[in-house]
Structure 1
Amino acid sequence: MPEAQTYCVPDQINSRNPILVCSAAQASSNGFCDGVFDYIIVGGGIAGCMLASLLLKSKPSPSALLIEAGPDMSNHPLTQAPLACFAAHGSDIDLNYKTVPQAHLDNRLLYEAGGKAFGGGSATNYATWTRGSKFDYDRRGGLLGDSRWSYNGLLHYFEKIERDYISTVAVSESSSSRKYPLRDQVLKAWLGLGLDKIANANSDDPIGCQRNGRELEGWGKAADEHSV
């Protein structure tokens, strides 16, 4: 069981603050396992945090225990600067997944990052946002026989996330006007290989080349699901 972490944990469950957030160690050592909750959510990743948020907003607000094996990343040094995310690879906040052997890559096992923290993978993000391909979402919806998992079925949630900002943080759009000497050459190389230059990476067909945008909070901190 992981070592207990320090979190902002309410003293008790009540109608004003019905979501209790704690580490797995806290849940055991503080006696939370002996309590009674309407819901217990195991895993404080993106899905777990979202589910807890939806429960909190539902009526009547049920009590819920959200348990996460990893730490609270609110003030973790790897979340304070966007490019620090590279240092998270293989660290104690990375689940360090490996893929199955890849038949078209000489059967190699590839590294797959997975955030071991409140917020999950969003806690070790690269401050970028790109929707997936409509083809992939529609294929998944077809395999499940449920259009809610298709691109159009999920589009409402994509747009909701893109509009969801912390109310106390002003949103602005700016450019440093920095010139990257290799950018044009890299773009020419990709176009020469047959990729298209796209105007909007969040269109339903994002396969191509485009300068990526970044979502920054405060003095450059990459926003994560737990804080958003």
Structure 2
Amino acid sequence: MGSQTYDFIVVGAGSAGCAIAASLAKSAKRPNVLLLEAGGRNDDKSLRLSGKRCITFQEPNMNWGYKTTPQEHCNGRELLFHRGKGLGGSTAINYGLYTVGARDDYDQWAAEVGNDTFDWTNMLPRFKALETFSGEIARPEHQKYVAPQAADHGDKGALRVGYVKEWEVDLSPILDAFKEAGLEQNLDHNSGNPLGLSVSITSVSDGMRSTAADLLDDASENLVILPDSPVQRIILEGKKSRGRSDINSPDFASKEVIISAGSLDSPKILMHSGIGPAAELTKFNIPVIHDLPAIGQGLKDHPFTPFLVARNPETNDRNAFYGDPEAMAAGMKQWEKDGTGPWTRYGGQIANGWFKSDRITASEEFKALPDQMFQDYSYKGLAVFLMNQQSIGEVRLKSSDPDVPLLFDPHFLEHPFDLRACIEMYKHLLELTDHPAFAKDTIATLMQPASRSDEDILQFVKNNVSSTFHMTGTVKMGKEGDESAAVDTSFRVFGIENLRIADMSVVPVLTNNHTQATAYVTGATCADVLIRDYGLDQ
């Protein structure tokens, strides 16, 4: 395919990129938009099966297969750093929780960058425009766990989100046990206040997972979507972007190029284009077009540590399904026929919760912070997530070859607060699972620290902590003059014309949620800014 010129080129068809491309193409002036994706189409329907959402990441063609550098504070372990590949990006391989986070995070974002475009009041309408929310609960006995308010949700968006129709039989008893153990209930974690135990809103509808590719379903002819089109670098004339180049032929943008390749790959494209820390670029003989030291810095994530217990098989019926290949095959045929059946129930509806700990906030480490698989399937996996990591990582060049991934170093557990928080969180979890309401059906503990001591808990965390793959902040948004920032509040790269970045790499706050929702709204916000700047709705 020869060189073409478009009004806008969007690099990356994940949550942010799809939101940008679809919004631009649908604007009144119908600009010509090119959406480029390094991976394939991911159009196999079975990849959307809700009951297999926890294993889709194992598809080699859908995952970049990244790993971190050896983590000094995690006993030298290299951790998996999954990133989705293909249309939908990471939304095609993630677990599919649809959580928007806390209103305070967005207000903090707005305050840090000095622009109320990003505060909760302005973000909520964008969240609502993205989704079609179904608050339907199939069984009357489950209704007590949810009470969403229509004002907090949308009904016309392309992303179909809500609650799973069929719940596993042991979900309700466990919710009741945790409530009896003292956990406060939250009837809608997407109200702007996520605190408390909730039934999860998921990006699933009628047994099918919703991904960012759904935003492209009604694409018009002015939106050209090219999968299998990796971008190596941006074409620059001086300090003005003109388009993109890859191993085949270039494409040009008469207006702007928007990079939405994520926190691990947006910095790579920038650096190989000559935009980034001059010392790093020079080390790999990459001509420096613009020295921008903040690129690649500020990496944050949500590390988590697992806890696994064997449960009384009489409390659930998973063995009868997962232990019977014929039952699983019959379930697949039923799903292929009408989207129902056991594959929409098992591993479908889950619960989550966000909690504050008085013990953590009373610790010296907190006070020092600046203001700012088994044969028996009768088991439960719980996980504790550190939502407010203080360790700050980085991504760096590894090679002058643009096809070689960067070095990813999240610096997990480096900050004293993170160590203390992980210890106390795990103690809270152990106390919770010791409560008689939960413990009565626990047969054995399959995975936990050797003892309840701080030392053993910390050693367990270091040996088992993992990434949640919520990488954020490597091309951070900020005010002019902020040395830690690389883009302004209009998503424009400092010092470069007609080049914007819009994905989780620009988000200056590690939001308290499953970050796919924040990535979607980041793309939608960038689209709003571009439509405004170019008068595309006039």
Q: TM over 0.5, yes or no?
A: yes
Q: Is 1:221–2:189 an aligned residue pair? A: no
**How many Å separate the matches in 1 of 2:106 and 2:51?**
29
The amino acid across from 1:197 in the alignment is Q
Q: Which residue of 2 is the match for residue 184 of structure 1? A: 173
Q: TM-score, with normalisation over the residues of structure 1? A: 0.67
Percent of aligned pairs sharing the same letter: 26
Preserved CA contact (<8 Å) 1:83 1:126: no
Q: Which residue of 2 is the match for residue 164 of structure 1? A: 156
Q: Which residue of 1 is the match for residue 91 of structure 2? A: 122
**How many Å separate the matches in 2 of 1:210 and 1:145?**
33
Q: Deviations over 1:75-100 (max 9, x none)?
A: 25322x11322222353312345578
Q: Which residue of 2 is the match for residue 200 of structure 1? A: 188
Q: Which residue of 1 is the match for residue 50 of structure 2? A: 82
Q: Deviations over 1:134-174 (max 9, x none)?
A: 222222222222221122221111111222355xx9x9988
Q: Which residue of 2 is the match for residue 92 of structure 1? A: 61
**How many Å separate the matches in 1 of 2:174 and 2:85?**
37
Q: Cα RMSD between the aligned structures? A: 3.3
Residue aligned with 1:44, SS: coil
Q: Which runs of 5+ in 1 are unaligned?
A: 1-29
The amino acid across from 2:211 in the alignment is D
Q: Which residue of 2 is the match for residue 154 of structure 1? A: 123
> Taking structure 1 as reference, are residues 124 and 172 closer, same or farther at Cα in structure 2, changes over 3 Å only?
closer
Please report how far the alpha carbon of residue 182 of structure 1 lies from its aligned counterpart in structure 2 after TM superposition.
5.2
The amino acid across from 1:78 in the alignment is L
> Taking structure 1 as reference, are residues 186 and 85 closer, same or farther at Cα in structure 2, changes over 3 Å only?
same
Structure number having the greater strand percentage? 2
> Taking structure 1 as reference, are residues 221 and 36 closer, same or farther at Cα in structure 2, changes over 3 Å only?
same
Please report how far the alpha carbon of residue 60 of structure 1 lies from its aligned counterpart in structure 2 after TM superposition.
2.2
Q: TM-score, with normalisation over the residues of structure 2? A: 0.31
**How many Å separate the matches in 1 of 2:22 and 2:68?**
31
**How many Å separate the matches in 1 of 2:68 and 2:104?**
22
Preserved CA contact (<8 Å) 2:162 2:204: no
From 121, 124, 145, the equivalent of 2:114 is 145
**How many Å separate the matches in 1 of 2:109 and 2:165?**
37
Q: Figure out how many residues of one structure are paired with residues of the other and give that number.
A: 189
Q: Which residue of 2 is the match for residue 57 of structure 1? A: 26
**How many Å separate the matches in 1 of 2:81 and 2:25?**
32
> Taking structure 1 as reference, are residues 215 and 88 closer, same or farther at Cα in structure 2, changes over 3 Å only?
closer
Preserved CA contact (<8 Å) 2:14 2:89: yes
Q: Computing the radius of gyration over CA atoms, which structure comes out larger, 1 or 2?
A: 2
From 2, 6, 16, the equivalent of 1:47 is 16
The amino acid across from 1:133 in the alignment is A
